[in-house]
Amino acid sequence: MLRLIVASHPSSETAGEASAAPAAGSRPARLALAVPALGVTQIIAWGSLYYSIAVLAQPMAHSLGLSLPLVFGAFSASLVASGLVAPWIGRAIDRHGGRPVLACGAVLGALALGMIALAREPVLFFAGWMVAGVAMAATLYDAAFAALSQIAGSRYRQALTALTLFGGFASTVFWPLAWQLEDALGWRLTLAVFAALHLAVSLPLIRFALPAHRPEAPLDAAPQPAAATSATPAGMAFFWLAAAFTLAAFVFSAVGAHGVAALQASGLDADAAILAASLIGPMQVAGRIVEYAFARHLPARRVGLAAFATLFASLLLLWGAEGAPRLAFAFALAYGAANGVMTIVRGAVPAELFGKAAYGAVMGRLARPAFLAKASAPLLVSLMLADGNGYEALPPLLAALMAGGLLAYLAALAVLARHASERARWGERPTNVRASGPTVGAGAASDPAGPSTDGRPTRESTAQPSPKERTP
């Protein structure tokens, strides 16, 4: 299955370019080894740094004499730290390549887990979680996507899908593993085992999977969008895309923290609510498989639109589930599948819209508000529901937020479509215009000044491309 994904023919946008690059013939074989190696590192990073707190928080709080909210507060602080350093991590991957950054992330992950395991007082405990936040920024999906984009060429989207299939099993592996180890060894030695996994497994796999230095542009890389030839994209298109992903991240975090209670508020008993919530994880993996099987040839932006719309519809199902328990199960199935696809969308859409010239920086800037939203959502939702409305008010609240995310995503696409139309009109101007007038060639490369950061053509360029240069 994995070899089929990473070695299959490229997506429709890049098939023509890939066929013209025989020198890259070994790339599928390289990816067939690199993707599972990085996939194992994703399972370890997500499982140990992100998911294990759900199992270990209670024994941590008891051992350290801390309240449970304070333990989760330390974890939330780590997500804030991740958001703050994410842009810097992305720029470092752009500059130095993925191997040194992800390798440092694995070492920091081991250091953080060791600090938490050795903590006897809150200061070291919180300091360990802050280091864990930096490690998460350097090892989780955003960093891995940026590193993968540098070696995957036109097969990036297929490789990304395969990588997320591995990551989808992190909670499946580490929740029971953490439970069994804590029962046998205690939470401190459990974290020591997890730290050893970062050093003994993740670090060698990162060195094996990624080149030592940032590779040159792959021979089979697709042409970059006009907006990608400048520095990190700015402007309204990037703003609306970041807003869409941030609102989605807030909803995901809120459902993760309060979803079971919301399902119970819809009329399910505790056992049924837990059963419905347990369907979300497997449906994430199923959604990614369906995306590859049926939507891999579609533009990523269209897949993103379908994912946002499905998430909104799923929350409407949750809203209407009171008195209709079947709708609660329908919510879990639709929400889980769309949530799984959204992970692919978050990696593929920025590459499609802005290119991969500064992809690490783009992902870092998108990750900062998303991490902050994930960190704040559980607490903010609790405060919003403290007015006595209870969890009955949660589904309409989340549906409204996801509606905002859908509208923000549509706004980003509309801005880029308008800029593309403007570039097309400028490119169709006659060649005998005055030298002082605005003149833009057919592609971004023909404009010496480069496009503006939001994809608009600039007026500084006065040289017209030759007819030969205009030929696709």
Residues sharing a CB contact under 8 Å with residue 317, sequence separation 6 or more, in sequence order: 327, 328, 330, 331, 334
Q: Helices 122-139 & 27-45, crossing angle to 10 degrees?
A: 160
DSSP 312-356: HHHHHHHHTTTT-HHHHHHHHHHHHHHHHHHHHHHHHHHHHHH-S
User: Domain 27-221: what homologous superfamily?
Assistant: MFS general substrate transporter like domains (1.20.1250.20)
DSSP 372-414: HHHHHHHHHHHHHGGGTTGGGGHHHHHHHHHHHHHHHHHHHHH
Contact 91, 168 (CB under 8 A): no
CATH homologous superfamily for the domain 223-424? MFS general substrate transporter like domains (1.20.1250.20)
Whole-number pLDDT of residue 436 = 39
At residue 12, the pLDDT reads 40
d(CA 326, CA 401): 24
Under a CB-based contact definition with an 8 Å cutoff, are residues 364 and 145 in contact? no
Residue 387: the pLDDT is: 55
User: DSSP letter string over 257-310?
Assistant: HHHHHHHHHTT--HHHHHHHHHTHHHHHHHHHHHHHHHHTTS-HHHHHHHHHHH
Cα(7)–Cα(17) distance, integer angstroms: 16
Alpha carbon of 344 to those of 84, 168, 378, 392, 468: distances in Å? 23, 11, 24, 31, 38
What pLDDT score does 453 carry?
41
Q: Report DSSP state, residue 120.
A: S
Tell me, what's the pLDDT at 93? 92
Q: Exposed, middle or buried: residue 445 (CB in 10 Å: 0-12, 13-18, 19+)?
A: middle
CA atoms within 13 A on the CB side of 131: 20
- Cα 376-380-384 angle, rounded to 5 deg: 165
223-424: same fold as 27-221? yes
Nearest-Å Rg of the Cα atoms of the chain is: 23
Residues 418, 100: Cα–Cα separation, whole Å: 39
CB burial readout 424-436, b (16+ within 10 A) else e: eebbeeeeeeeee
Distance CA 70, CA 84 (A): 21
Rounded distance, CA 325 to CA 299, Å? 36
Contacts of 278 (CB under 8 A, 6+ apart): none
Q: How far apart are CA 149 and CA 15, in angstroms?
A: 17
Q: Residues with Cβ < 8 Å from 62, sequence gap 6 or more?
A: none
Q: Where are the domains of the chain?
A: 27-221, 223-424
State how far the Cα of 335 lies from the Cα of 398, in Å rounded to an integer.
12
In tens digits, what is the pLDDT along the chain, a chain of 472 residues? 555 455 554 444 444 333 333 334 445 557 788 899 999 999 999 999 998 888 898 899 999 998 888 888 899 899 999 999 999 999 999 999 899 999 999 999 999 999 999 999 999 999 999 999 999 999 998 899 999 988 887 788 888 888 988 888 888 788 889 999 999 999 999 999 999 999 999 999 999 988 877 766 554 455 555 444 444 455 889 999 999 999 999 999 988 878 888 888 888 888 888 888 888 888 999 999 999 888 888 899 999 999 999 999 999 999 988 778 889 999 999 999 999 999 999 989 998 888 877 888 888 899 889 989 988 888 888 777 765 457 888 899 999 999 999 999 999 999 988 887 777 777 644 444 443 343 333 333 333 333 344 444 444 444 444 444 443 4
| Residue 25 burial (10 A CB sphere; 0-12, 13-18, 19+) | exposed
Residue 79 vs residues 86, 133, 165, 358: alpha-carbon distances, Å? 10, 6, 23, 24
How far is residue 199 from each of residues 51, 175, 212, measured CA to CA in Å? 19, 20, 18
Relative orientation angle of helices 170-185 and 53-64, to the nearest 10 degrees: 30
C-alpha to C-alpha distances, 188 to 117, 201, 412, nearest whole angstrom: 4, 20, 46
106 and 395 in contact (C-beta within 8 Å)? no
- For residue 190, give the amino acid letter: T
What's the Cα-to-Cα distance from 276 to each of 120, 248, 269, rounded to whole Å? 38, 21, 11
